Amino acid sequence: MRFVGALLVLLLLVGGAAWLYRDSLPFLGDSEPVEVSPEAAEQAAEKLERLRSEGEEIRLNSVEVSSLLRYRGSEWTPTVIRDPDVRMSGDTLVVAATIPTERIPSHPDLDRVRGLLPDSGRVELEGSLRMLDDGRVALAVEQVEFAGIPIPERYYAPMLERLGRSDEPGLAPDEMALTLPEGVSEVRVEEGYLILVP
């Protein structure tokens, strides 16, 4: 019984010390947000500022990236996009958002059924990132769905062209080159995180 009592006292002491010195313990520092919110966007923005000012490599989880897109929308996404959401698993990136049907690129096959589509729908794009030689990043589109309906691969290139893609040496038809944010020299998805390198 004395052993159990001593163990409880020790746990209380260690727990109390951890609480008192929590700001100086690296493993109890910034906890990762688990819910998309303005606070999570602020935390992610602070990490980006550290990257720019201190040259620190940062890791953003899905919640932080989604929060940046939702609550700092004017800086990150077109105004036509609503409720953006990002998920990452391994090295795969899934971006979803609600867009007006009228903004879907025109294509003869799609135009035949456009009248049957709702006014807006959820678009989900799955892909991966790879660095290009000129310091930009290529987004490789692997799968697209609109309102839960898979979009055939033959539409990927026309969709990307409508978004501003141009043919470049070394760029596949299903890839789009993107400019990195200011202060970022490399970006990758790794173990479910977006890694940004100064």
What is the chain's Cα-based Rg?
22
Enumerate residues 6+ apart whose C-beta is below 8 A from 23: 29
State pLDDT tens for residues 104-126: 766 676 677 777 777 888 889 99
Nearest to 126 by CA among 167, 78, 94, 159: 94
* Predicted pLDDT of residue 55: 92
* Predicted pLDDT of residue 111: 76
In percent, how much of the chain has pLDDT > 90?
37
Could you tell me the two tokens for 123?
């678009």
Over 70: is that where the pLDDT of 79 sits? Answer: no
Predicted confidence band of residue 33 (pLDDT cuts 50, 70, 90): confident
Q: How far apart are the first and last CA of the chain?
A: 56
* Predicted pLDDT of residue 101: 78
* CA–CA distances in Å: residue 59 to residues 51, 129, 143, 165, 171: 10, 15, 25, 27, 27
Predicted confidence band of residue 43 (pLDDT cuts 50, 70, 90): very high
**H runs (alpha helix) in the chain:** 2-20, 38-54, 62-71, 73-76, 108-113, 156-162
Instruction: Round to whole Å and give the CA distance between 90 and 191.
Output: 4
What's the rounded mean pLDDT across residues 25-45?
76
Yes or no: say if 177 and 165 are a contact pair by the CB < 8 Å rule.
yes
* Predicted pLDDT of residue 77: 60
Distance of CA 143 to the CA centre of its chain: 16
Could you tell me the two tokens for 50?
């550290």
SS percent in the chain: helix, strand, coil, step 5: 40, 30, 30
Strands 137-146 and 82-89: unpaired
Q: What is the pTM of this model?
A: 0.72
Q: Output 67 or 117, whichever has higher pLDDT.
A: 67
